[in-house]
Amino acid sequence: MKLQEAGLVNVDSTLKFYLPQLLDSSEYGNINIKEMLAHQAGLTAWIPFYTKTLKLTKPNPVYYSTTKKENYSTQVAENLYMLDSYKDSIFRQILDTPLAENKKYKYSDLGYYFLKEIMERKSNTTLNYLSDSLFYKPMGLRTMGYLPLNRFSKNDITPTEDDKTFRGQLIHGYVHDQGAAMLGGVGGHAGLFSNANDLGVFMYMLSKYGVYGGERYLEENTVKYFTKAHFTSNDNRRGIGFDKPVRSGAGGPTCEGCASLNSFGHSGFTGTIAWADPDKGLVFVFLSNRVNPSAENKKLITDGVRTKIQQCLYDAISDI
């Protein structure tokens, strides 16, 4: 959003416009960025990149080192460092996966691998430094950011999954998502840590269309453009990167019929959700950890915990 305002990125462009060498003649080059961020570019949902780096269910020493050393500086978890050049193999696996011919809505995190690459190349810095310098630090969001072990004691960070299929340890202070871990903990789709208050402040800024504490961080038109559903005729509720309510009112990330169509937010694999409703003056943040100790725990989803809590909040403000 910020780079679009600066004229460095245009979501109506294609991937090959920004990544010509990476995509060269690939069919991925013709992907429209706005469609990609609305999850209708034909990308497969997810690729378990880590499986190709295992040997007999353990991290293969060809790709990993238990100590940081030359060519192995990408930290994946505690005492586990990845071959720095493996990022090229991750992109190769994506590009070797055919795009779906039917460009219907299907959630995929793969587009954010490309988006991160674009943002870092256009800004000449890393995604974690870029986001911190533009938003988190000037907004006073002390807990929000990537790589929390660089800033906090492990005792101040909530552990996630006891990872028995890849890293062989309790994931504590490192990103849960395997692909983001293989990029060193900073992914376009995962790796951000925060407490509920800081995340609430950030969503409040967005609900006020870019203003917080008397300062403007994003232009009003930018927020409205990115949080708008652009492809409703294609039965796609999504904004540009943001999730939106199901337009029929049934199902989806919000309580049924409660959130306005101008509301927006995102839910996370580990059980989180952050939602802003400018029309109702409501920001809803719910942080949980359903994947501890195992991601097989689906109760939060099957019991509809997040939408039930959200319904309570809407009921409460309707009585005021």
User: What is the DSSP track for 240-278?
Assistant: SS-B---TTSSSSSS-TTTS-TT-EEEE-TTS-EEEEET
Check if the beta carbon of residue 22 is closer than 8 Å to that of residue 14.
no
User: What is the DSSP track for 38-100?
Assistant: TT-S---S---GGGGGEETTEE-TTTEESS-BTTB-EEEETTEEE-GGGHHHHHHHHHTSPPP
Split at pLDDT 50, 70, 90, the class of 179 is very high
Spatial distance between the Cα atoms of 122 and 9, rounded to a whole number of angstroms: 8
At 251 the pLDDT is: 80
- pLDDT tens track for 262-299: 999 999 999 999 999 999 999 999 999 999 999 999 99
The residue-averaged pLDDT of 84-90 equals: 98
Instruction: Give the chain's mean pLDDT.
Output: 96
pTM score: 0.95
Spatial distance between the Cα atoms of 125 and 264, rounded to a whole number of angstroms: 28
CA trace torsion 95, 101, 103, 109 (10° rounding): -30
Task: Tell whether the model's pLDDT for residue 254 goes beyond 80.
Answer: yes
At 249 the pLDDT is: 67
Split at pLDDT 50, 70, 90, the class of 319 is confident
Q: CATH number of the domain at 2-137, out of 3.40.50.620, 3.40.30.10, 3.40.140.10, 3.40.710.10?
A: 3.40.710.10
The residues spanned by each domain of the chain are: 2-137, 218-318
Task: Tell whether the model's pLDDT for residue 46 goes beyond 90.
Answer: yes
The residue-averaged pLDDT of 5-32 equals: 96
- pLDDT tens track for 184-211: 999 999 999 999 999 999 999 999 999 9
- CB-based contacts of 303, cutoff 8 Å, min separation 6: none
DSSP state of 296: T
